[in-house]
Structure 1
């Protein structure tokens, strides 16, 4: 019971910090202030913010569970940031420059202005929202998992209590996100990230001595008892997670990392292009944590009882490892609260990003183009509750569909790459070819997942079709592209 109480107190204290972050009315005075913090965050705060929204409970619980279940394929989560940050070093500062100069707060804003097309902007927004909502839902697993594990022996029905805690937690997060805007997850993200570093380093230092005779014995047992866990395709069914899957999954995930709305939101909050560039260098330090997470998943497979009758056990392997390894309720409470915060803080940024996309790129661009800035900000803030409600509803009622859709999340979000990345360098890229390619790419993602079953990552085949279609049909719309070049303030400004 003590561990559960400590968990709740720490989480509530951090949520209170989120409310404090928005006590200045400037936090919600405009869509730019509310959604990207007025583009005034320094390099260190941006580092914590992006770390908070990219390294979520899904990364920690999911990758632990992936290593627990399959072994070596989980290492793709280390490989793709290694590629993502060098790519981002050259590309993301360009996007920040355009966004800062033209007061853009979403990638859909950039797509709209780059092609002078509301259709392209709305398409990017819709794709982003559709694939982001199930990602928000999967953050719920951290909350329900903590309550279920910490509540064992305390509550008669920990699962039901977990659902109640889930609803209460997300209502509180929705309130502080609506009230404080990006400043809330920015400052709570600092606390969350510090706790994550402390907890994971503590676990990786102490676990080898709790369960083994030290680091050497731990590695020796992993290598000698379960060598199949350390080579591809690991223990994946039918060997599907092989070398080709590893390469394509890493490549597509690297390209898509900053295409996520919450990732872009973190970038656009920076006060300078140089701060963005430096962060693409120093964010790679978070990879150390992912190595720890995967190693802990392998340890959990060795030391925890097997539960073949409960396929969800792997998803909470890290929580069960904490419960089995540490008897001190205060230590357990700090660790459990860290996992819960790793769900709540990224979820806050995701909800904010999705709400901004709705208010800016759907409500304003399509339905009410003359809406005032004050009203637009209010709409975005109110949609926080709509997005949160949808995530809760779908997460509770249709968990199987959400997991299936999330498996295609990165594959789907990667299909906006031509509209964003290609458009930075190819001035004669036409809006119609980008739209056709986007539709073709997403169609291919789902066709491959449900029908074709080509080897590798679905997003690879989707993006391949997407890019081939764009190059194949773009010449048909070259006059459209040339007209855009001659009248587009964003492109003309880039020439000066």
Structure 2
């Protein structure tokens, strides 16, 4: 361990810990014992705070490690994360203001609340809630994986063969995260996001200006990366020809272009289906804040593009690691002065704390509103709801910690790929439901089940390169009916979902199966803050709809 780097890292980590607990008094309400206050931060965040919160929510620590790692590893589709974060903002500009309006008119806290009210179906709301929790759990685990990678590169805990001693730093980080999330709710990650994003921007801007000059300039960097990939492809030509290993490269060849495009589109459609993304949006104070952020958040896409290129910089700098996820932290340790390396490591770890806190809050809100109150204790008081969410947020984080420690990191990564497949199956009920109620509620439920089962089955059948008997080896599958065209599994599954939903809707409407009563009205989807029926605070006594 380098004492200076560890000292700077520790100071910044303690700083955000203090901020996390202080957040309970920031913009403090008279009563934090409601989901509106604890789980949505009082629903009063403006453009500036929301920009940091939502950005800190969707650009996670693992993003900052995994995206450059894919380029370092030579993945020809690894750059897809950049266009997908560009495509997503026009989409959210269209549909998220509608979700904000109807949620504030009807006191909806979760996307499953909306689905239950729109389709008059507790079963469909339960399906959306369970999907959200399932998809979120491995996402939280990956934040801990990102922290673990940084701690390993720093040398913290790596000097011992005892697993408990080795993982003590991760346990401590977990305890701190759990404590201030329990105490402060959504206000904690909102306040910490200021520090996190400032550090991330500082580190990346310094990195893209300083590091290329250290390793010969951008032209040299791209040439070294391409030469490295060419040499690897030549060495593994037989395995590549047999399909046992992927070819490495900088630009996707024609055969991989559908894979690249479908990953970008599918990921863009899925990103704001995740409950933590919607939680960040519902915490804002008006529709205008959401629209402004849809226009401003692409600044993070610019940052992500620069960050991705650090994978090539690591190759040019001669970084040699067996685990590609360590490439960028190792690059920082090798090329930065110790004190700035400490800043960089702190930025990544703090970048894990913000989304992990929001994800656990979002999952806890789903449990409380759409399982606990809907099925277990319908007469739960606002305080009991808040207490239940606080406790479940601890359980969710503990589950993610156990998952990281009990399974290999590769398994965690592969399971997170399923998260995108699963969460996209809620798109017909949520996004289409914001514009039309033509889909029948029972057809939506069956379509969801088909998409979940088909997507999981497709993902299970994908082996890891060079390991034909393995499963969950990647996000791509050969498109049905095509011999060589690979596409993102989530898109294939949601197409099957939509096909089943449309066909069954026609059948159910023909036989006049009860569609339920829509509890929303057309004008609910366009109201803004200050208008009639849009309260400054959600009604803590409002029933769970559906």
Task: After TM superposition, list the pairs within 5 Å mapping 1:64-213 onto structure 2.
Answer: 64-151=68-155, 155-156=159-160, 163-212=167-216
**Residue 255 (str. 1) matches residue 260 (str. 2):** no
Q: CA RMSD of the aligned region, Å? A: 2.5
Task: After TM superposition, list the pairs within 5 Å mapping 1:437-476 onto structure 2.
Answer: 437-451=447-461, 453-454=477-478, 455-476=486-507
Q: Can you give the 5+ residue segments of structure 1 that lack an aligned partner in the other structure?
A: 230-234
* Conserved? CA contact 1:319–1:336, under 8 Å: yes
1:218 aligned to which of 221, 231, 240: 221
**Residue 344 (str. 1) matches residue 347 (str. 2):** no
Show the counterpart of 1:277. Answer: 291
Shift of the 410–481 alpha-carbon distance from structure 1 to 2, 3 Å rule, reads farther
2:46 aligned to which of 13, 37, 42: 42
In the TM superposition, residue 293 of structure 1 has moved relative to its aligned partner by 1.6
1:62 aligned to which of 48, 63, 66: 66
Q: Can you give the 5+ residue segments of structure 2 that lack an aligned partner in the other structure?
A: 233-239, 463-476, 479-485, 527-546
Shift of the 484–436 alpha-carbon distance from structure 1 to 2, 3 Å rule, reads closer
Show the counterpart of 2:544. Answer: none
2:440 aligned to which of 430, 437, 450: 430
For residues 444-473 of structure 1, give each alpha carbon's deviation from its aligned partner in whole angstroms, at most 9, with x where no partner exists: 112212338422111011011001111111
In the TM superposition, residue 351 of structure 1 has moved relative to its aligned partner by 0.7
For residues 184-220 of structure 1, give each alpha carbon's deviation from its aligned partner in whole angstroms, at most 9, with x where no partner exists: 00010111011101100010110011222x3444345
Q: Which has the higher helix share?
A: 1
Shift of the 329–70 alpha-carbon distance from structure 1 to 2, 3 Å rule, reads same
**Residue 335 (str. 1) matches residue 344 (str. 2):** yes
* Conserved? CA contact 1:142–1:342, under 8 Å: no
Shift of the 102–482 alpha-carbon distance from structure 1 to 2, 3 Å rule, reads farther
TM-score of the superposition, structure 2-length normalised?
0.84
Equivalents in 1 of 2:126, 2:109: separation in Å?
14
Equivalents in 2 of 1:431, 1:153: separation in Å?
52
Equivalents in 2 of 1:347, 1:385: separation in Å?
11
Equivalents in 2 of 1:53, 1:162: separation in Å?
28
Shift of the 153–430 alpha-carbon distance from structure 1 to 2, 3 Å rule, reads closer
In the TM superposition, residue 108 of structure 1 has moved relative to its aligned partner by 0.9
* Conserved? CA contact 1:76–1:249, under 8 Å: yes
* Conserved? CA contact 2:80–2:264, under 8 Å: yes
Show the counterpart of 1:322. Answer: 332
* Conserved? CA contact 1:148–1:159, under 8 Å: no
Equivalents in 2 of 1:78, 1:98: separation in Å?
31
In the TM superposition, residue 223 of structure 1 has moved relative to its aligned partner by 5.2
Equivalents in 2 of 1:25, 1:248: separation in Å?
44
Secondary structure of the 1:456 match is: strand
Secondary structure of the 1:467 match is: helix
Aligned length: 485
* Conserved? CA contact 2:143–2:352, under 8 Å: yes
Shift of the 277–227 alpha-carbon distance from structure 1 to 2, 3 Å rule, reads farther
